[in-house]
Amino acid sequence: MRKSTRCLTAALVAFSLVAAACGDDDGDDASTADTTATADTTATADTTATADTTATAEDPAAAAQALVDQLRQIPTEIPVKTGITTPAPKKKIAWLACELPSCAEVGEDSQAFADALGWELKTINIKSFEPASGVQQAIDWGADYITITGSPLALFQEQFDAAVAKGIKFAFGYTTEDPQTVDGGIEGLLTTVGDDTSVYTNGERMGSWIIADSKAAANVVMVNIRDFQVLVAEEEGLKAGLAAGCPTCKFEGLPVTLDDLGAGKIPQLVVSYLQENPDTNYVHFAFGGLPTGVSEAIKTAGLSDKVKLTGVDFSAPNLQEVIDGTHSVWTANPKAMALGLMFHACVLDAAGVEFADEREAAKLNTFFVDTPEAAQAILDTGGLQNWTGPKGYIDQFKKLWSVG
C-alpha cells in the first residue's frame, strides 16, 4: 500500500490538520470519554486490528460487522510499551505549531509533557506551507529535538539536513516520510505518527462500517481535498476496503479544494453531486471540518432520507450531528496523544533506548462513534472537540518515562 500511495501526485500537509475547530485546554482526563458510558465502549480496542473485509460468498456484511463491533470500543491504553527505567537527561525540545486550528489540539498538552520530563519547551508558530523559517528558529535556539506535524519534508529539506548535521533529531506527525526505524527511512527522523499507512487503514475500516451498515449495498461518494497526501491515502484505503469486502459496492470521489471549504461551497457541491447521482446512499468526509452545513443543505434539498453521512476524525459539531441523527458515524483521531508519541520517541532517544514498537505506535488509537449515546458520552466530558487519547494517557506516558 505504501508504495502505491507514494505514486499518487497529491501533495502536501496533513491528515486532520485542516479546518478542524479548536477547543479549550482542559487536560487529558477532562477531554476523554468516560469509558463506562455505554456497554459498547468499555473494553480495550485492539489497535492492531486490520480491515479484513474479504467477502464471503454467503454474507459479505458479516465479516465487516465483526470488525465494526470490535472498533466501537474506546481504547484504554496508549499504543506503545517501550519505556525507560530512569528519567531521561534534560533536553530542549521545540514544537512547531501550524496556523490551522487543529494544531491547537495537537499541541494542547505539549507543556504538560515538557513539565513532566523537566525539559525546556519552545513553541514556534509556523505556516504549514512555509515551515523552513520555524525550523531554523528551533536550530538557532539550540533545540535537541524538533517536533512538527503536517508540513512535508520537501518544504524544509535544507534546514532538516543542517539540523541533523548538528545532531538535532526530529519527530513528525501526519506526513508520509518514513522514519529511520523503517528500512530505507530517513536518518534523524525518529518517528512519523499518524502517517499514510495509518490513515489508509482508517479508510479501510470505514469501508467495513459502510459495508455492514448497508448490508453490502453501498454506493459511496467521498468528499476529499486531494492536495493532501495523507487524505489521498485515506481515500485509497476506503476504496480498497469497499472493493475487498463488497465487490458489488460502488465508490466515487468528489474532489474539493481549500478555497471551496473556506468559501462555504462544500454543501452545494455535495447537493449537486447527489442530484446528479441519485443512487448514492453514503457521503463520506475525509475529516471533521468538511461537512459543515452539509446536512442542512441536504435537508433543504429533500435528500435527507436518501443518504447517510460518515467521516474520519470527528470534532464536536460532528458528534452533535450523530446525536441529532444527521450524521451516522465518525472515527476518532487522538491528536494530542500523537504529539505525546512524538515526545516519547525523543525521550527514548535521549535515554539511548531503541523505539522497538515505533511502527505500532504510529498507527494511533481509533474507534467508531455511531450511536447518540457514545457521542453524548464524549461531549459530556466538557473537554476539547476531539478525543485526546485514552483516559489518563499522560500518566501512562509518565510511567513509561519513569517520572510518575
- CATH 3.40.50.740 assigned to domain 92-196+334-365? The reply is no
Fold of the domain spanning 2-75+199-331: Rossmann fold (3.40.50)
In this prediction, residue 23 has a pLDDT band, given cuts at 50, 70 and 90, of: very low
pLDDT, one tens digit per residue, over 222-233 is 999 998 888 999
Structure confidence at residue 25 (pLDDT): 36
Structure confidence at residue 56 (pLDDT): 45
Compare 60 and 400 and report the one with higher pLDDT.
400
Q: Where in the chain is the domain with CATH 3.40.50.2300?
A: 2-75+199-331, 92-196+334-365
pLDDT, one tens digit per residue, over 357-389 is 999 999 898 899 999 999 998 888 754 457 899
Enter the pTM of the model: 0.80
Set of cell numbers at residue 285:
468526509
Residue 21 predicted with pLDDT over 60: no
Give the mean pLDDT of 82-98: 98
In this prediction, residue 322 has a pLDDT band, given cuts at 50, 70 and 90, of: very high
